[in-house]
Amino acid sequence: MAKITLDNLAHSYLPAPAGEEDWALKELNHVWGDGEAYALLGASGCGKSTLLNIISGLLHPSQGRILFGDEDVTDQPTAARNIAQVFQFPVVYDTMTVRENLAFPLKNRGAEAGYIATRVQAIAQMIGMEDTLDRKARGLTADAKQKISLGRGMVREDVNALLFDEPLTVIDPHMKWELRTQLKALHHEFGHTMIYVTHDQTEALTFADKVVVMHDGRVVQVGTPEELFERPAHTFVGYFIGSPGMNLLDAEVAGKVAHVAGHEVPLGGTYDAPGGRVQIGVRPEFVSLGDAGLPVTVTRIEDVGRHRIARLDFEGTALNAVLPEDAAVPGDNLRARLAPEAVSVYSDDWRVTPQSRSEEAA
Amino acid sequence: MTLTLENISKVVGSEVHIHPADLSLAPGTMNVLLGPTLAGKTSLMRLMAGLDAPATGRILWQGQDVTGMRVQDRAVAMVYQQFINYPSMSVYDNIASPLRLQGKGKGEIDRAVRETAEMMKLAPMLDRKPLELSGGQQQRCALARALVKGAGLVLLDEPLANLDYKLREELRLEIPRIFEESGAIFVYATTEPEEALLLGGNTATLWEGRITQFGPTAEVYRQPADATTARVFSDPPMNFLSATKTGDRIVFGDGEEVAAMGALGRLADGAYQMGFRPNHLEIERHGEEVMGFDTTLSVTEITGSETFVHLDHNGARWVGLIHGVRELEIGAELRVWLDPAHVYVFGTDGALVAPASYAQAA
């Protein structure tokens, strides 16, 4: 196990990058704590795979260094970095049995037979494949093959880090639960440093202690799931995390009040008049319907089972609210109240810290 | 335009892929096929399309037997998980291609292509090649090709599975609108319960080649006909426990005993399987008429606004979805609470005896 330091790291796929947009990964300094579980979350093309490939050694960065512990590994090939990787699609040897597949990384490193047998058994139990250990991998479902890939990724206990690149894409929802829970339990038990790349917010948030959100080649926020949910540092985090994402409304902000299209919205903190494009953001979970607040009409109510999503129209702008499962479908002359303590203020997409706010001062 | 399946089955070698099924899809309806991988969703769609011949039964389209008819001769369009477009053709030519095959006139083709492109938000990209588009736009292009023919039956086989989470959210929101504009019968296969709920319409749940239930989506969700349907239509999975009612007491499989409260008091004496959804499990006691269970916490997952708790209850694994972020210690003993109004009662054979009383009221 080791902490991983990214020092002044940046990457461009072009030989002579000029403008900012030429950098797939913009300059980044970050320390991945020893034994922590991270998720690297972002949309396709945000740079998360570039970053993962630099950490694993598949890609040499254009700039900067990468350290495992105190050792500079920037120039080391993947094989020398002592890491385990699991990819989006299964990588298994079809002609080998499940047991041989799982044992492969240990055999390769000359582990002793008794240890291999015990370890393979433990991993097989974890991925629920004890009964198929002696079957050839050929002919197994994609699901089963990916479980073998996951198992093989975790079979070695002495790796510096475990890197997962969208490992559950091909797995059924029900199985996703099981595997994610097992990964989590495994992390709790062994304390590997884990980096899990995904575009799926549920996977990222539930798996990780800390989520690193990337957008457009840049890390826009590193935080606990709670921080990302309650105080998105960038409008992208507000949009990308949460389903539906955060509501954003153009506003003028002064003191403890925002003015939105001529309506007043009370805020939970006090602000100097921020510059640039000013918006207020509030998650649908903190929008309630009643007789006070912004005038809205209901466009559509979606029944998602455990709650309802109200799609609202506020003077031409779409606004979403999450209502309880048993909520009555609201009637006419409806108003949407934004819980003041849950409203964030953004200036040119970045969150503005209020001058005073009870919860943040605490 | 009604699609009727009469006693349709599919057998490959000695394996039954689809057990004899009857299904009638009304004109202009959205129909979801919900089930895990290998449940038979794709097999059923291929039968509907005429891509495969059934082992038994007939397929009727507007009352006419089309069982042996080639797919080319029927008004069917199908969209797959992998976006299929012609890479060397422009978006315009891709969308136009099915009409050209039908030998339509130039003016008519142009009108249909532009209209469909407008609906699919592809109008500004008609001159581009598919590979110059984002994943979401590529799938829109594939959808446009399916819709442009004005086929009466549109089959979508997990069309969003390969898209980023947020793109999926966006397209999923549009599909009901696109469907309404097209007036066709839509059949939409998915593994995700939440997707089925968001799409609305009707849902057929599939399990091991059988249609376990078919009806309005919210009704199938709230009033599943059997334990299998309830399991298929629940993510995270529904929690189950075995119970015996004797007089005014209920004894659970492990010997825990509670008073038969609420609707449970009206059950006849006998053995049952009881099920409840994760979002109905509480870790704080609300009210008097609730049942308490002792569990051990094995894993927690925090989504930012909610906490999933994975619990061991006498050897069975339960999942609870709790509002808010909870810092709970792994391994801790946790007393959890369940309102009898949220309990589904199934017979030992799995057939529904009584839906949760809250769902009947809804």
ipTM: 0.81
Tell me which of A196, A212, A239 is where a domain ends: A239
Residue B194 and residue A304: Cβ atoms within 8 Å?
yes
Whether residues A141 and A187 share a domain: the answer is: yes
Mean pLDDT over B11-23 rounds to 94
As a whole number of angstroms, the distance between CA B137 and CA B299 comes to: 39
- Among A126, A176, A189, A306, most B C-beta atoms within 10 A, so best to mutate, is A306
As a whole number of angstroms, the distance between CA B288 and CA A191 comes to: 42
What confidence score (pLDDT) does residue B223 get?
94
Whether residues A197 and A276 share a domain: the answer is: no
Phi, psi of A115 (to 5 degrees): -65, -45
More confident site: B304 or B340? B340
Whether residues A286 and A195 share a domain: the answer is: no
Mean pLDDT over A90-96 rounds to 93
Mean pLDDT over A35-42 rounds to 93
Pick the CATH number of B3-232 from 1.20.120.450, 3.60.15.10, 3.40.50.300, 3.40.50.720: 3.40.50.300
The residues, any chain, with a CB within 8 Å of residue B13's CB and separated by 6 or more, are: none
**Could you tell me what percent of chain B has a pLDDT over 90?**
63
Mean pLDDT over A24-50 rounds to 92
CATH code assigned at A184:
3.40.50.300
Phi, psi of A206 (to 5 degrees): -80, -25
How far separated are the first and last CA of chain A, in Å rounded? 35
At A240-280, the pLDDT tens digits run 998 899 999 999 999 999 999 999 999 999 998 888 999 99
Across chain B, mean pLDDT equals 91
Whether residues A292 and A203 share a domain: the answer is: no
Residues B20, B8 contacting (CB under 8 angstroms): yes
pLDDT for residue A360 is more than 60: no
Return the CATH architecture of domain B239-355. Answer: Beta Barrel (2.40)
Tell me if chain B has a CB within 8 Å of the CB of A308: no
Confidence of residue B91 (pLDDT cuts 50, 70, 90): very high
Residues B277, B343 contacting (CB under 8 angstroms): no
Long-range pairs for A177-185: beta carbons < 8 A, 24 or more residues apart: A177/B235, A177/B236, A177/B237, A177/B319, A178/A128, A179/A127, A179/A147, A179/A150, A180/A206, A180/A207, A180/B301, A181/B298, A181/B299, A181/B301, A181/B310, A182/A126, A182/A127, A183/A150, A183/A207, A184/A37, A184/B299, A184/B301, A185/B298, A185/B299
C-beta atoms surrounding A316 within 10 Å: 6
Tell me if chain B has a CB within 8 Å of the CB of A306: yes
As a whole number of angstroms, the distance between CA A32 and CA A12 comes to: 22
As a whole number of angstroms, the distance between CA B118 and CA B124 comes to: 9
What confidence score (pLDDT) does residue B149 get?
87
pTM of the full structure: 0.85
As a whole number of angstroms, the distance between CA A155 and CA B286 comes to: 44
Long-range pairs for A294-297: beta carbons < 8 A, 24 or more residues apart: A294/A260, A294/A263, A294/A265, A294/A319, A294/A335, A294/A336, A294/A337, A294/A338, A295/A263, A295/A333, A295/A334, A295/A335, A296/A334, A296/A335, A296/A336, A297/A334
Residues of A in contact with B319 (CB under 8 A): 177
Q: Amino acid identity of B104?
A: K
As a whole number of angstroms, the distance between CA B361 and CA A325 comes to: 12
Whether residues A85 and A192 share a domain: the answer is: yes
How far separated are the first and last CA of chain B, in Å rounded? 32
The segment(s) of chain B belonging to CATH 2.40.50.140 are 239-355
C-beta atoms surrounding A112 within 10 Å: 8
Residue B298 and residue A185: Cβ atoms within 8 Å?
yes
CA distance B342 to chain A (A): 12
At B41-88, the pLDDT tens digits run 999 999 999 899 999 999 999 889 999 888 777 889 988 887 788 999
Residues of A in contact with B308 (CB under 8 A): 206
Tokens coding B183: 């007036």
Q: Please state whether the peptide bond connecting residue B236 to the residue before it is cis, i.e. omega within 30 degrees of 0.
A: yes
Tell me which of A239, A269, A301 is where a domain ends: A239
Mean pLDDT over B211-240 rounds to 95
The segment(s) of chain B belonging to CATH 3.40.50.300 are 3-232
**Could you tell me what percent of chain A has a pLDDT over 90?**
67
Whether residues A255 and A219 share a domain: the answer is: no
Nearest to A120 by CA among A192, A132, A172: A132
What confidence score (pLDDT) does residue A361 get?
41
Tell me which of A239, A271, A286 is where a domain ends: A239
pLDDT for residue B162 is more than 80: no
CA distance A240 to chain B (A): 7
What confidence score (pLDDT) does residue A333 get?
85
What confidence score (pLDDT) does residue A362 get?
38
More confident site: B348 or B138? B348
As a whole number of angstroms, the distance between CA B300 and CA B302 comes to: 7
Q: Please state whether the peptide bond connecting residue B355 to the residue before it is cis, i.e. omega within 30 degrees of 0.
A: no
Indicate the range of A59-63, A149-153, A245-249, B252-256 predicted with least confidence.
Answer: B252-256
Nearest to B89 by CA among B77, B79, B101: B101
Q: CA B259, B261, B266, B268: dihedral to nearest 10 degrees?
A: -30
Using CB atoms within 10 A of its CB, is residue B93 exposed (0-12), middle (13-18) or buried (19+)? middle
Whether residues A164 and A268 share a domain: the answer is: no
Domain with A261, as residue range(s), is 248-361
Mean pLDDT over B121-129 rounds to 92
Tell me if chain B has a CB within 8 Å of the CB of A325: yes
Phi, psi of A203 (to 5 degrees): -60, -45
Residue A172 and residue B191: Cβ atoms within 8 Å?
yes
At A135-170, the pLDDT tens digits run 999 989 888 898 899 899 989 988 889 999 989 877
Task: Give how far the C-alpha of residue A121 lies from the chain's centroid of Cα atoms, to the nearest Å.
Answer: 31
More confident site: B56 or B161? B56
Q: Domains in chain A: how many in total?
A: 2
At A281-307, the pLDDT tens digits run 999 999 999 989 999 999 988 888 889
Phi, psi of A230 (to 5 degrees): -85, -35
Whether residues A201 and A90 share a domain: the answer is: yes
Whether residues A226 and A283 share a domain: the answer is: no
